[in-house]
Amino acid sequence: MIQHFQSKRSLLPLLLVVLVASTNISAQKLDKKGNNNPYSPSPSASMNDVTNVSEPAIIKSADEMTAKVSRDMEIRPTIANTAQPITFAPAKNIDRTPGKPTETYNIGIGDVLFVNLKNAPNASGYYTVREDGTIDFPLAGENVLVKNKTAREIITMIESAVTLYSNPQVEVKVREFSSHKINVTGMAERKGERTIQREAVPLFVVRADVNVDPTATKVLIRRNELANVESFDLSDAKTDNILIYPGNSVEFAADERGKVLSTTGFYYIAGEINAAGQKEYVTGMTLFQAIIAAGGAKGNPKKALIRRKGEKGALNVADYDLRAIKSGKSTDPVLSPGDMIEIVN
């Protein structure tokens, strides 16, 4: 009896060893069940830690972490290797309320942008907007779509696209305005295509830029090829505030009032001038206005000789310094009907 009891006592340590081993095996099975899950408990954790964590809790934690990783990828997408134009949803902190067209400029094809990543070495340069509306800014992708965006929107877009540098600080400026064109014709010194630097500009800005003939009495505006021509009186102060948009055609002309003024005689012009010959004289016309009406001078001529008949029919010759007149140092002389002008280099 005592011997039998002692035999059982000798087996007790063995049973304890088996019990501990079986518990370890149970813990290992739990580890193996989640061996592809990086968020499973560490095999070195204590037994109390393992046995107090249930399988559903581990799976739920993994799902939550996977969702978080997915959200992180959406916030900062990988874009460096794409060959297609890149677009991004507008950032929430951008004010999308349309601004005044006279205070806004949307980037267009042909514009030249200066892009500078301030917190990166040698990460600035000039980029011409290509025909597809993109620029090649490698740190934000090969083809970044900038057409019809403001400089502020492009800054936010590039900052969200750059992943190589943390907290990128981007500067974008328009260095050459090329995309917003208008066409000027008629009684103006600088005719043809002109560039505006806003989505719209008041007419007085255009008048100052192209130097309108003072004898012009009206402006004709065509908004597009199919639109009717709008006519406005240049003597009306409200006309100066009419908005001119890219693609508009602007013609300065004279109505019946101008025709009455132009019947007072002729003058004659020759020499270094683009359109020599007989020209209509308008009361009060000056030398420079006569040159403009004749298509402008060739190059930068030095002087003008004005020959005018005296009372006895003899020609009196006056010499004028064109460069001094142009710079405002000398008075622009008023012409008379029948004056003969020679432009000399």
Domain CATH code at residue 193: 3.10.560.10
Q: Per residue in 160-176, pLDDT tens? A: 998 888 889 999 999 99
Range of the domain at 213: 181-259
Question: Contact, 195 vs 110, CB < 8 A?
Answer: no
Give the residue-averaged pLDDT of 177-190.
94
Q: Do 13 and 70 have their domain in common? A: yes
Last residue of a domain, which of 232, 259, 286? 259
**Comparing C-alpha atoms, which of 273, 249, 242, 276 is closest to residue 192?**
249
Last residue of a domain, which of 214, 231, 259? 259
**Comparing C-alpha atoms, which of 83, 194, 206 is closest to residue 145?**
83
Number of domains in the chain: 4
Give the residue-averaged pLDDT of 257-273.
73
Look at residue 338 and tell me if it is in a domain: yes
Its pTM stands at 0.48
pLDDT band at 261 (very low <50, low <70, confident <90, very high): very low
Last residue of a domain, which of 237, 259, 281? 259
Question: Contact, 325 vs 331, CB < 8 A?
Answer: yes
CATH of the domain at 117: 3.30.1950.10
Q: Per residue in 288-298, pLDDT tens? A: 889 988 888 99
Look at residue 205 and tell me if it is in a domain: yes
Look up residue 334 and give its amino acid: V
Look at residue 91 and tell me if it is in a domain: no
The residues near 82 (Cβ < 8 Å, ≥ 6 apart) are 141, 142, 143
**């740190």: which residue's tokens?**
139
More confident residue, 49 or 175: 175
State the Cα–Cα distance between residues 339 and 248, nearest whole angstrom: 38
Look at residue 107 and tell me if it is in a domain: yes
**């890149």: which residue's tokens?**
86
The residues near 77 (Cβ < 8 Å, ≥ 6 apart) are 161
Give me the chain's average pLDDT, please: 75
Question: Contact, 121 vs 138, CB < 8 A?
Answer: no
pLDDT band at 49 (very low <50, low <70, confident <90, very high): very low
Question: Contact, 305 vs 315, CB < 8 A?
Answer: no
Give the residue-averaged pLDDT of 114-125.
88
SS3 content of the chain, % helix, strand, coil (to 5): 30, 25, 45
